[in-house]
């Protein structure tokens, strides 16, 4: 699988949680509010990056968290951190649009996922992957920026 990211992007991604005001003061509290209580839930964290949300979900009581990202560098970095701070989050390198049936999750998150769709067909495949991995009645929570935010 071609890897579109490198170590510099991994570092930038990690810093974005503290250095980008929109992320720190809008995204994080908004996602937190929408997630609500995750105690006892199995969660699929798509576009997990270096695992920020997945780790937070485990700390907040999710019983199982599986993080998925297309970037081998992101997953490599978060697996290394998992060795230092064992929270029990599992990580998979995969395209969310071609994701196997991993399990029946109570909740799937796609924070900054959908805008990575390369085409309308890829977006549809991402949605199918989400549906295939959610229990009946499960929730999908996504967060996307308006593409015109910088204008």
pLDDT, tens digit, for every residue of 38-91? 999 999 999 999 898 999 999 999 999 999 999 998 899 889 888 888 899 999
pLDDT, tens digit, for every residue of 129-149? 999 999 999 999 998 876 665
As a dihedral over the C-alpha atoms of residue 74, residue 77, residue 78, residue 79, rounded to 10 degrees, the angle is 120
């Amino acid at each position: 699988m071609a890897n579109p990211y490198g170590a510099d992007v991994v570092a930038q991604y990690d810093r974005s949680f503290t250095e980008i005001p929109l992320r720190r003061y809008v995204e994080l509290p908004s996602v937190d509010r929408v997630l609500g209580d995750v105690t006892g839930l199995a969660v699929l964290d798509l576009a997990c990056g270096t695992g920020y949300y997945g780790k937070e979900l485990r700390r907040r009581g999710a019983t199982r968290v599986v993080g998925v990202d297309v970037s081998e560098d992101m997953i490599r970095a978060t697996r290394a951190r998992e060795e230092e701070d064992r929270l029990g989050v599992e990580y998979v390198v995969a395209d969310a649009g071609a994701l196997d049936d991993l399990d029946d999750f109570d909740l799937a998150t796609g924070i900054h996922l959908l805008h990575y769709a390369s085409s309308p067909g890829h977006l549809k495949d991402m949605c199918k992957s989400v549906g295939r991995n959610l229990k009946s009645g499960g929730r999908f929570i996504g967060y996307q920026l308006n593409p015109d935010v910088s204008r």
